[in-house]
Amino acid sequence: MLLGGRFELQARIGVGGSASVYRALDTQRDDLAAVKVLHPDLTGEERTAERFVREIEVHRRLDHPGIPAYRASSSEGMHWMATDFVEGDCLAALASRGLKPSEVATWGLELCATLGWLHDLGIVHRDVKPDNVMIDRDGRALLLDLGIARTEARITQHGDLMGTPGFMPVEQELDPRDADPRTDLYALGVSLYAVLTLRSGAELAYDFTRDGALSRLPWPLAEVVRKATEQEPDARWPDAAAMELALAEALDAL
């Protein structure tokens, strides 16, 4: 079966609560694509289908080297979306092999640039974590999965759980509608900590474990992560550009 008369699904490479991701041959371009397909049993659930359509609409207007490019989609019958296929490894998988602080800081810089660009468009990712970052064959960090991104047109309701426990600040846990750019920076800070220490980012959320957790990081990075993961949003980096600058200074000091 060719989706859209173009994409030949080859293998499932990821599965989530609402959709699966497949490696596919793009017969029109004769190369690989990543195709995200909404689980068929969820197409009748109005809000789930609406969120998938919203994700398609968001991807259509994105053009940034830090995000896989949109190719095609459909919301008629089977809901699916195709993007560029990233040849590389998930950051979470790479972390298990051991990473250098300088590598992680460099990828953090790239992710700050991508997040800052999204934030300028009024988009908050809301699910920044190592599983949603791919490192391509050229060593660049790309941000994946805008499935629960918050945009100006909101469909999230009070009581919805949007995000990943351990990577969400308290304001997002209480009400994901309150997520703003500083929410993504918190998640990025936790991600940097998690891939370097292979420990739970939840350690950064409690006063009695926080100092011990930060002491496991090289001091220049520890200070960046400390500010990114403050519990009060106003105490965090004000925007991605500020965190990017701090990471650049930390990288020079490593």
CATH number at residue 214: 1.10.510.10
Spatial distance between the Cα atoms of 129 and 182, rounded to a whole number of angstroms: 14
What are the backbone dihedrals phi and psi of residue 233, each rounded to the nearest 5 degrees, phi first? -55, -35
Mean pLDDT by 10 residues, the chain (254 residues): 92 91 97 95 81 90 96 90 97 95 98 98 95 97 91 50 76 81 97 96 92 95 97 97 98 95
Residue 17: the pLDDT is 82
71 and 105 share a domain? no
User: For residue 135, what is the enclosing H or E element?
Assistant: strand 133-136
End-of-domain residue from the set 84, 108, 126: 84
| CB contact at 8 A, 196 and 225 | no
DSSP state of 24: E
Residue 110: the pLDDT is 98
User: Which is the catalytic residue, given 26, 84, 127, 131?
Assistant: 127
138 and 224 share a domain? yes
pTM of the model: 0.92
DSSP result, 163-185: S-TTTS-HHHHH-GGG--HHHHH
Spatial distance between the Cα atoms of 246 and 241, rounded to a whole number of angstroms: 9
Q: Give me the domain span that covers residue 30.
A: 2-84
Residue 152: the pLDDT is 57
- Contacting residues for 147 by C-beta, under 8 A, at least 6 apart: 16, 18, 19, 51, 52, 55, 127
118 and 179 share a domain? yes
Residue 241: the pLDDT is 98
**What is the total count of domains within the chain?**
2
228 and 182 share a domain? yes
Active-site residue flag, 127:
yes
159 and 103 share a domain? yes
136 and 24 share a domain? no
22 and 94 share a domain? no
End-of-domain residue from the set 84, 118, 135: 84
